[in-house]
Structure 1
Amino acid sequence: MTATIRKATPDDLDTVAPLFDLYRVFYGKPSDPALARDFIQARMARNESVILLAEIGRDTVGFTQLYPAFSSVSATRTWILNDLLVVPEARRSGVARALLVAAADFARDDGALRLELETDHDNATAQALYHAMGWTAYDGTLRFRLPLR
C-alpha cells in the first residue's frame, strides 16, 4: 500500500504527539510524552508549524514538521523541514519519500523560495534519500550556533 499524506489539524494532536516523542527518542532524548504533547499542542495553537501526516490504511506511520523562515536577501519565505519520522515497521516502503514530496509541494504552493533541512553527518540512509530526490548540500557558508542554555 502507498501512503496518503495530509496536513494535520488540532484534532490530530493525540496522533502526532507520540510520533514526536519517538522522533525525540531517535535523537537521543529520553521519552517524555507530556513534553511532546505540550510542544506539539503549542505549535498547533500558535500556527507556528505545519505538520504533514503519512497514513497507510487507518495507521499513521510517519510525519514531518515544517517551520516557516524568511530570506531577507531574497525578501521571501522559506521553509525548514525540521522533523521527519517514519515508524520502524513502515520504513523502506516509500513513506519518507512521500513525506518529502508532500513537503516540497506544500512549500512550492506557498510560494516559498526553498525548503531546507539538516541531518546528522552519520545519517547515511537519510542523506542517500535526500541526494536521490535532488536535495543538494549548500553549506558553502560557515554555520554558527550560540547556546542560550
Structure 2
Amino acid sequence: MIAWVSPSDAAFGAVAELFDDYRAHYGQQRAYGATRQWLQDQAAMSGLRISAAFTAGRPCGLLTALVVPASLTLGTFWMIRDLYVPPEHRGRGHARALLTETVSQARATGARRVALQTEHDNAAALALYGSLGFAPVDGYVSLNLGL
C-alpha cells in the first residue's frame, strides 16, 4: 500500500525513522529527533510531499517530492528528491509503486513533468527509472555551489 504522509498522520514518526535510516545509509549520523523536525519543517515551509510504501502497517519505502514552479510554461513540475527502500525490502516493487503513485499524483495536479536525479553509476535506479519512461535531459549540465 502507498500513502501520502503528513506530519499530522499517525505513521509520520515511523516514516521519519525510515528517513533517518536513509540518511544513515548515505553516511550521515543518525539523529531521529532532528530528522523528524526537519521533515516536519520542510513539509510545512517548502511543501515537501512525503509518500511511503507500507507492509503490515510499517513503512518499507519512502519518496519525497517538491512541487516546483515551471516559469516558462506557467505551470509546475514535480522534483523527486529522495527515494529509499531498505535492502531487506528491495526487489518487491516498492520503489516502482512509489514512483508510479507520484507520477499519477503529479499528472492529476496538472504538473508539466516529473524530474529526478541519481548517480551516474546507480545501474538499478537507472534501469527502474528508464522502465517507467524517465530519460536523460540532453543539453543540460547539473551544477552546484557548496555553501
Normalising by structure 2, we get a TM-score of: 0.91
Residue deviations 1:41-66 (CA, integer Å, cap 9, x gap): 11233362111111122221111011
| 2:63 partner amino acid | T
CA distance in 2, matches of 1:41, 1:73: 31
- Please tell me whether the aligned partners of residues 14 and 58 of structure 2 are also in contact (alpha carbons under 8 angstroms): no
SS at the partner of 2:98? helix
Which residue type is aligned with residue 36 of structure 1? T
Number of equivalenced pairs: 145
The 5 A counterparts of 1:94-133 are: 94-133=93-132
Amino acid paired to 2:13: D
Corresponding residue of 1:32 = 31
Stretches of 4+ aligned residues off by more than 6 angstroms: none
1:82 corresponds to = 81
CA RMSD of aligned residues (A): 1.4
Deviates more, 1:129-138 or 1:29-38: 29-38
Q: What is the aligned partner in structure 1 of residue 2 from structure 2?
A: 5
Distance 2:108 2:26 in 1: 30
The percentage of counterpart residues that share the same residue type is: 36
Unaligned runs of 5+ in 2: none
In the aligned structure 2, how far is the partner of 1:45 from the partner of 1:145?
A: 25
Instruction: Report the Cα offset of residue 141 of structure 1.
Output: 1.2
Unaligned runs of 5+ in 1: none
Q: Deviation at 1:142? A: 2.2
For residue 78 of structure 1, report the CA deviation from its aligned partner: 0.6
Q: CA deviation at 1:86?
A: 1.0
CA distance in 1, matches of 2:123, 2:34: 29
**Distance across 1 between alignment mates of 2:138 and 2:144:** 14
CA distance in 2 between counterparts of 1:47 and 1:57 reads: 31
Q: Following TM superposition, by how much is the alpha carbon of 1:139 offset from its aligned partner in structure 2, in angstroms? A: 4.3
Given residue 6 of structure 2, which amino acid in structure 1 is its aligned partner? T
| Letter aligned with residue 143 of structure 1 | S
C-alpha separation between the residues in 2 aligned to 1:101 and 1:30?
Answer: 31
TM-score, normalising length from structure 1? 0.90
